[in-house]
A and B are shown apart, each in its own frame.
Chain A
């Protein structure tokens, strides 16, 4: 808590925390948007979301080690994860579409454990990071430090998000995906192959996570067990923003990044993860109380 006084004495540190929080939050928002897509279209809460991020990170890491720069590594990661997504769809996910939520949560939880333990066995539990070699920018007499790689990550997240939105708005497949999200049965009646729509949606989500994972490996670090924090972060962002609300997801993502940075600074980094999950519980309980009040006012 003593860090609170430090913050009061040097408000410029606050700027530092807010800015770096927003930059990281863009990556959170990207992963959350993928989760909202799958949730909205297929009615599946994908607990393995974070594991796709982790896998994407490893693809970029190993490509970087083989001498391929992350600029090319990230698209490759997206492509690899797209294939993983298609494979997972045809083996598991298509069998749980339309089943109850508990089944989908438990099944994707199983996938998440499977991928996380596979990564642990194959890549070891070491913490890995991709060194970008980019310098840091200094502002306000060195009080504010912004690594350039975080800016690059932010920009890339924005680009991927924009590409996704453009895809959903303009292409035939994007339109089919949006139609299926609105009413799967009507879409089927009108001749949309919903099975293909689901496969594409799930695979696109995986590709987004893969790209995000590359950004995480560049700006932060990756290890086999980081998945669940990303899953629950996206879950939090989606329930705060609501399904199909892009600007909400962006704001909530940035907000989460900032809050998390502040909490990590004030409480100490050993409590930062605990704080994230506590926030999740608080948000769920709070949302419920708020909904209960809405219901009461209906009477």
Chain B
């Protein structure tokens, strides 16, 4: 099969699986929706982490901004359910992208590990502020409005929303990496000073790329908040210890700096987690820490890197 034929086949397979999944096995609709969310998480993280070389530990911040912006619009705008949801998701995406635009120039000027730790600080500040600020529900969070459709319909509805978002993210990211912007951020990753000396406006590219990641993460916030139904500042919106770390881990697991790596990493990670985590009865987070250490120390190039190495030694 030719390369384009293969990708058409892959696209059809993904589309059919994605569309049919909630009808074949309705009991796992929510978990499957989270699978698409995980793919979106690791793909957007890889824009700045893998392709641009800015290893953020705080991208979950943008997701949280999206979750809260959507919930606030739904609570306070007085619109009907679907109009409110649409406006909320739009507001979430915009708020997240705007915060990336505002924070970007200062944050992305910080290099290397200082950037990693600054972003980590950012997401924890957000979690702490969100759990102390009365207007947005403080530590008791916000409940999402009731879904007006059928009882089983809620999970399906948000499943398709997240599926669409994940597919959109993948297509957008693929388009992005083939464009000038993709070349520019790769140049920044390889040698930022040289890229700057060649005349690239590095700050502009960096902020723009980060804002795209933020936009998509912010857009995902609304559907997830409504799917779960209850927004907790520490466990859902600004969940640095889970979502925040998973983003990084999934991209590294699959192979960061590649298009398919984050997708593969997210699928492997999420499926493993859903299959085995329930057996561990509370020890799953211990296993999580162990997994991070093992992956980072022994498989730093991820699954795709490992496959590539196998292939070169075999040839």
Q: Are A271 and B132 in contact (CB under 8 A)?
A: yes
Query: Which residues in chain A, 76-104, are within 8 Å of chain B measured between CB atoms?
Result: 92, 95-96, 99, 101-103
Whether B128 contacts A113 by the Cβ 8 Å rule is no
B118 within 8 A of A: yes
Q: How far is the CB of A48 from chain B (nearest CB, A)?
A: 10
* Bound Cα distance from A92 to B286, whole angstroms: 16
Closest Cβ of chain B: how far from A202's Cβ, in Å? Answer: 15
Give the chain A neighbours of B117 by CB distance below 8 A: 45, 105, 232, 235, 280, 284
B118 near A281: Cβ-Cβ < 8 Å? yes
Q: How far is the CA of A278 from the CA of B285 in the complex (A)?
A: 27
Question: Interface readout for B287-315 with A: 1 if CB under 8 Å, 0 if not?
Answer: 01111110011101000000000000000
Q: Does A274 contact B (CB under 8 A)?
A: yes
Interface of chain B, main secondary structure: helix
Q: Which A residues are in CB contact (< 8 Å) with B81?
A: none
Say if the beta carbon of A107 comes within 8 Å of chain B.
yes
Contact with A along B259-295 (1 / 0, CB 8 A): 0000000000000000000000011011011111100
* Residues A103 and B296 in contact in the complex (CB < 8 Å), given A45-B113, A285-B110: yes
For chain B, which range describes its interface: under 10, 10 to 19, 20 to 34, or 35 or more residues? 35 or more
Interface residues of B in 63-113 (CB under 8 A from A): 106-107, 109-110, 112-113
Complex CA–CA separation, A278 to B58 (angstroms):
13
CB distance from B284 to the nearest CB of A (A): 9
Residues from chain A with Cβ under 8 Å of B288 in the complex: 113-114, 117
Query: Once the chains bind, are B110 and A284 in contact (CB under 8 Å)?
Result: yes
**Of residues 97 to 152 in B, which have CB atoms within 8 Å of A's CB atoms?**
106-107, 109-110, 112-114, 116-118, 120-122, 124-125, 128-129, 132
Is A72 on the interface with B (CB-CB < 8 A)?
A: no
Question: Which residue, of B106, B107, B114, B289, has the highest number of chain A Cβ atoms within 10 A?
Answer: B289
Least CB distance, B311 to chain A, in whole angstroms: 24
- B212 at interface by CB-CB < 8 Å: no
User: Complex Cα distance A137/B292, Å?
Assistant: 47
Q: Write out the residue numbers on chain A whose beta carbons fall within 8 Å of the beta carbon of B120.
A: 232
**Is the C-beta of A180 less than 8 angstroms from some C-beta in chain B?**
no
Give chain B nearest CB distance to A209 CB in angstroms. Answer: 18
Whether the Cβ atoms of A285 and B118 lie closer than 8 Å is yes
* CB-defined contacts of B57 to chain A, threshold 8 Å: 105, 109
**B-side contacts of A95, CB under 8 Å:** 297-298
**Contact between chains at B293 and A288 (CB < 8 Å):** no
Are A111 and B116 also in contact (CB < 8 A) when A270-B132, A288-B110 are? no
Question: Is A71's CB within 8 Å of the partner chain B?
Answer: no
- Determine whether the beta carbon of A110 is less than 8 Å from that of B124: no
Question: Of all chain B residues, which has the CB nearest A278?
Answer: B125
With A105-B113, A117-B285, A285-B106 already in contact, the answer to whether A277 and B300 are too (CB < 8 A) is no
A171 within 8 Å of B (CB atoms)? no
Within 8 A of B (CB), among A130-179: none
Shortest Cβ gap from B68 to chain A (Å): 15
Task: Give the Cβ gap from A275 to chain B, nearest Cβ, in Å.
Answer: 8
Per a CB cutoff under 8 Å, which of A99, A110, A273, A274 touches B289? A110
A235 surroundings in chain B (CB, below 8 A): 117
Q: List 27 A-B contacts (CB under 8 A).
A: A92-B293, A92-B297, A95-B297, A99-B300, A101-B116, A102-B116, A105-B117, A106-B55, A109-B57, A113-B241, A113-B245, A115-B289, A116-B289, A117-B289, A228-B124, A270-B132, A271-B128, A273-B124, A274-B124, A274-B125, A278-B125, A280-B121, A281-B107, A281-B125, A284-B114, A288-B110, A292-B109
Closest 7 pairs between A and B when the two form their complex, measured CB to CB: A114-B289, A110-B292, A113-B289, A274-B128, A110-B293, A117-B285, A270-B132
16 A-B pairs besides A280-B117, A288-B114 with CB distance below 8 A are: A92-B293, A107-B292, A107-B296, A107-B297, A110-B291, A114-B286, A117-B286, A232-B124, A239-B114, A274-B124, A277-B128, A280-B121, A281-B107, A281-B122, A285-B106, A285-B118
